[in-house]
Structure 1
Amino acid sequence: MAVTSTVARSPAFHAPTFHTNQYSHRCRCRGSVSRRMRLKMSAAASGVTSVQTKPLTLTYLELENLEELDCLLITQSLDDHCHKKTLDALSNIYQDLHVVSTPNAKPILETLFKEVWFCLSGEIGISNLMVTYIEPGQTTQLKGRNSSEIIIRASAGPVLGPPWQRPENGYFIQAQDPKFTLYYEPHCVYNKFLLEEEYADVVITPVIKQLLPAFTLVSGQEDAVELARLLKARYVVPMNNGELETKGLLSSILYADGTIDSFKALLSNALPHVQILEPSPGSPLDIPIPL
């Protein structure tokens, strides 16, 4: 199974793509940005202990190298997470693509991903092209082409508007064989009281803050450490949003706080057992998952 998620631009990490021997989950990036990450699982044995593992393999790939996708994940409704031109191209390439999204993105997605009526053998039917909207706390279950299944559960992300507006989505992606959970949210914004009972083997999160005067656009640093602690994570994959190239009116007042190295120091002091993973473009990186 392949699952894709559009994310904000991050040169060193744009979006996680992962697949196992049973399914693949693919996360994609916006518009002119083509880099993505792929995770692949294969059987292996640990060289340190006798416990068997099936490592998730993370690899950066380019837009032109896309393989078959089963599902697209949309975390937020803003253009850098829900880019219409990119989605338009995907909807033309993958005409049976299933989309899981925040309801906030419905005004964009309903123009691109529609249920299409067709005639087959004289009968009226409906295509598989569809969108499932889930809000924080809701789940959906997907079945891949080889009958493998995953559960996608939305969590509360940032509120990008007035306080009464629906929050955007983070996602817990849960697989059963082997059992593991991946958590992804592109702003490192969360409600810690809602995450205290949660768990994720792998946390994909920004670690460098992006700040405007009197406003945190993207969190990180100590908040990313706290997120790893809350989710009892074993691995953290940093999103290097601090290397983001910005243009436009806000770029002159947007500034970064922290570095990858300062995050590593914070994490090492607070959670020395948590491993940071920094994949290089084109080079697979294994994440051992115990059977």
Structure 2
Amino acid sequence: MNLTYLDSNSWLIEIDSKRILLDPWLVGDLVFGNQAWLFKSKKNNPQPIPENIDLILLSQGLEDHAHPPTLKKLDHNLPVVASPNAAKVVKELGYTNVTSLDHGESFKLGEQAEILAVPGSPVGPTLVENGYIIKGLESGKNIYYEPHGNHSDSLSEAAPIDVIITPLINLKLPLVGPVIKGQETALQVCKRLKPQVILATAAGGDVDVQGLIKTLLKADGTIEEFKQLLQQNNLATKAIDPQSGETIELALV
């Protein structure tokens, strides 16, 4: 299993000979609602668009998961698996092979991989987006991904999980609280799922962030502190803080 970090929430997942492009932001800036004064993130060293992609996987319909400039650039004939909200985005962009997954629904990628949608992050008062469990059908290894640190109680049914991709630090806004949850929520999900490896996402990468939100966001915790939490709780999970463009080859048992 190889995992390549492409900044923010973006990953290239290589599992059982399949290449899955997850929540890609690969071209242009990341802006919410065309409001650059509020938030604008720019890649310092943009990564090339990966070749030979088998599937695009989208967890949310927001721009940092379903990034319109990137999706406009990618091949519109590629199959897409997405949350219902993200499916609307790619369909409006002209993608022709889109599968929308509600929580509990699954999709088979050939005979090599299966993707199960699980409850993810609340977006607004009524909408809960997707997390995913990606399983290699030949190797039997699996990955759980949730980009904001909201972990459903139903995940316990999927234990054990080999690899988790989720935030490991908190990002907080005044009066709002954590918009990205890490540290304690990541520790609790490690206790429940007993992963061999957990990788940080969402808050990393080689990016330059500007705008009002940047001045208000406060980080709470560090990767090193999280590693100490794992040790203090007698968990054998290895925590990795991936670097931009780095491909991590995982030798799982």
TM range (shorter): 0.7 to 0.9
Matches within 5 A, 1:1-291: 9-10=7-8, 14-20=9-15, 22-27=17-22, 29-30=24-25, 31-32=27-28, 63-90=47-74, 94-114=75-95, 129-143=96-110, 148-162=111-125, 165-191=126-152, 193-199=153-159, 200-213=161-174, 214-239=176-201, 241=203, 245-281=208-244, 284-290=247-253
How far apart are the structure 2 equivalents of 1:106 and 1:16? 19
The answer to whether the 8 A contact 1:3-1:24 is kept is: no
How far apart are the structure 2 equivalents of 1:251 and 1:108? 26
Q: What's the CA shift string for 1:89-144, capped at 9, x where partnerless?
A: 11xxx242000011112432222134xxxxxxxxxxxxxx311000111111111x
Give the drift of 1:279: 4.3
Inter-CA distance 106–232: structure 2 relative to 1 (3 Å threshold): same
The answer to whether the 8 A contact 2:82-2:99 is kept is: yes
How far apart are the structure 2 equivalents of 1:4 and 1:95? 22
Inter-CA distance 239–4: structure 2 relative to 1 (3 Å threshold): closer
SS of equivalent residue, structure 2 residue 198: strand
TM-score, structure 1 normalization: 0.72
Q: Which runs of 5+ in 2 are unaligned?
A: 31-44
Give the drift of 1:152: 0.4
Give the drift of 1:65: 5.0
Q: Structure 1: which amino acid aligns with 2:238?
A: Q
- Which consecutive aligned stretches of 4+ in structure 1 deviate over 4 angstroms post-superposition? 2-5, 242-245, 279-284
Inter-CA distance 177–87: structure 2 relative to 1 (3 Å threshold): same
Inter-CA distance 139–262: structure 2 relative to 1 (3 Å threshold): same
SS of equivalent residue, structure 1 residue 196: helix
Q: Structure 1: which amino acid aligns with 2:50?
A: L
Inter-CA distance 105–4: structure 2 relative to 1 (3 Å threshold): farther
How far apart are the structure 2 equivalents of 1:100 and 1:224? 25
Which moved further from structure 2: 16-25 or 220-229? 16-25
Q: What's the CA shift string for 1:39-69, capped at 9, x where partnerless?
A: xxxxxxxxxxxxxxxxxxxxxx963251111
Q: What's the CA shift string for 1:196-221, capped at 9, x where partnerless?
A: 22221000111111111232100001
Q: Which has the higher contact order (CA 8 A, sep 6+)?
A: 2
How far apart are the structure 2 equivalents of 1:194 and 1:135? 14
How far apart are the structure 2 equivalents of 1:270 and 1:158? 26
SS of equivalent residue, structure 2 residue 11: coil
Paired-residue identity, %:
30
The answer to whether the 8 A contact 1:242-1:256 is kept is: no
Aligned residues: 234
Which is greater in Rg? 1
